[in-house]
Structure 1
């Protein structure tokens, strides 16, 4: 019987630079502090899951460079006994990201060097040796080789997900938020072979051609169901989840769920780096444990909220029991009717 969760694809070393405000072009701003952290889906989700449940086996599958950044990331992952690094390979240059954290409004902007992530392809995962029940691959639009066209399946990513499902492995995907027009061509092929699609409102809207925010940034709640249904129609087999700062919305093919975010005073928020990956980790853990979608979304909400209490992506993540208490005891934002 398969057990555990595999996280494959993008890894990065993050340098979090806190600034008073993000500058306009040609303007200068002061960096108040610099902090190094793990980043990218493989490290963020793997460590989050390892902290949620110390007995859960997490298989981390990625490329690291034989450089100082790669050694740092390896040492961080190797700190957790339940993270399996047997499918980690050393090649090329380690990706890194400058995370510019605006101290005023807590937003963050990413400047990334893709490095060896462009080399990660359909042969980078030994599916036969994989022991996990769920395989999460991220991020679509950031893994160049997997985003390449495949004449039969649409993309190389879709082909890889199909092979995993044929071996009885549940699949999960995430997408990177980029400005561009690639979504509607690159994302849908993978949805046909995805069990769990957990993405934010920008990525969801771009993937189906329906914006979920207006020009002022207001959430267009009347279109959320349309997006959930459309993503499911494109082939997602089990759960579609769209998360936003205000809450999250899920569809399991029968019921639609709306879960408000926890209400956290802005003064208590140290950073938002990795909140999306923390949310994904909560959903994946719930799916692995056999929770229903509603329960999994509540856990994911608490997981994402806990990550906000620290500047980096994973230091704030709590274990399962603490996350349940956090969700039960913390005030919630107003319910979002959709």
Structure 2
């Protein structure tokens, strides 16, 4: 696969990434205090996160050849300005980012103690107020965009809520995008909300592709995908994928786990791709690996690449992401991933 010769995007087409945009403040603590006590913040990092933010930024880092647009809601505040500036620095169109004066920009305070787990304090803010009316699908089509990504379902209350007809705002937004000719791709968040399965089921018939992890696939379908020891059950993952297709997903279900990915597409044999071995000492942070995988899949779908090759490249993107400190660090240009994939094929082929 030769970039520039076999890609079809050129400067045409493009991807709109809609959904969560969050300002992340990562505080490194000297220790975790007991309730009512004080601890010192040794260091603070600030960045932009969230499903749509990570994916669209990763696509930019991959050197996606078409246009990229971010769509969502921000507060009319300094954090909102910060998000716009960060995305614009990556060459991403932010004209579809709506500013709301009644809500703050979504933000998370991440409390991290070195060598221990992290704790997240999240305020949904403007993300919670995103609705179907927040995005002008007609303008996406008129400007030549071809693919519409929405992430994350189950972390966008204004889109997830079911109405009296059993439909969600997400399902209506995706239906509008499909009818307008856009390829719709959706990701979920690993929520324990008891309404998870019903709200996801409402959106499935309007998804061309779902790109999710094994936990989300299990919760969306009621299938147990790991045994009591946490071991992945490949046959169960296959069952969950088939259930997603039966639930109405139009084209394909792509399920990724730390061990492997499964690509199920209507009319095709399932494709299993095993993950790359990454040494523990080379892993800086696992945050964002799933989004990196998703971004590479969107790249391949937009460009019409074969599914097996796209999956292999997506695993490479996730492996590189593990070596970065944030969700979007460590993502190389797509040409690097393609070359690495070729080298692997030559070594084992």
Closer/same/farther in 2, CA of residues 21 and 132 from structure 1, 3 Å limit: farther
1:323 aligns with 2:333: no
* TM-fit CA distance, 1:326: 3.5
SS in 1 for 2:329: coil
Is contact 1:13–1:38 with CA below 8 Å preserved after alignment? yes
Cα-to-partner distance string for 1:108-144 (whole Å, 9 max, x where unaligned) = 5543210111110000110110031110111111111
Cα-to-partner distance string for 1:187-235 (whole Å, 9 max, x where unaligned) = 0111101011001111110000012123332212231110110011111
Distance 2:34 2:278 in 1: 29
1:280 aligns with 2:294: yes
Distance 1:122 1:232 in 2: 24
Give the TM-score, by structure 2 length.
0.86
Distance 1:207 1:66 in 2: 35
Distance 1:263 1:26 in 2: 43
SS in 2 for 1:50: helix
Is contact 1:101–1:271 with CA below 8 Å preserved after alignment? no
Which of 82, 95, 110 is the equivalent residue of 1:86? 95
Query: Comparing both structures, which one devotes a greater share of its residues to helix?
Result: 2
Give the TM-score, by structure 1 length.
0.89
Closer/same/farther in 2, CA of residues 324 and 74 from structure 1, 3 Å limit: same
1:241 aligns with 2:254: yes
Is contact 1:20–1:104 with CA below 8 Å preserved after alignment? no
Is contact 1:12–1:95 with CA below 8 Å preserved after alignment? yes
Which of 272, 276, 291 is the equivalent residue of 2:305? 291
Partner of 2:86: 76
Gaps of 5+ in 1: 332-338
* TM-fit CA distance, 1:24: 10
Is contact 2:52–2:152 with CA below 8 Å preserved after alignment? no
* TM-fit CA distance, 1:35: 1.9
Cα-to-partner distance string for 1:129-171 (whole Å, 9 max, x where unaligned) = 0031110111111111111213446211111111111110110
Matches within 5 A, 1:50-61: 50-61=60-71
Matches within 5 A, 1:296-307: 296-307=310-321
Number of positions where the alignment pairs a residue of Structure 1 with one of Structure 2: 329
* TM-fit CA distance, 1:33: 4.1
Cα-to-partner distance string for 1:47-97 (whole Å, 9 max, x where unaligned) = 11111125321110011212222222111101022x111111111211112
Larger Rg: 2
Across the aligned residues of Structure 1 and Structure 2, the Cα RMSD in angstroms comes to 2.6
Distance 1:114 1:202 in 2: 22
Gaps of 5+ in 2: 1-8
Cα-to-partner distance string for 1:267-311 (whole Å, 9 max, x where unaligned) = 111111211111110111100000122121112111111111111
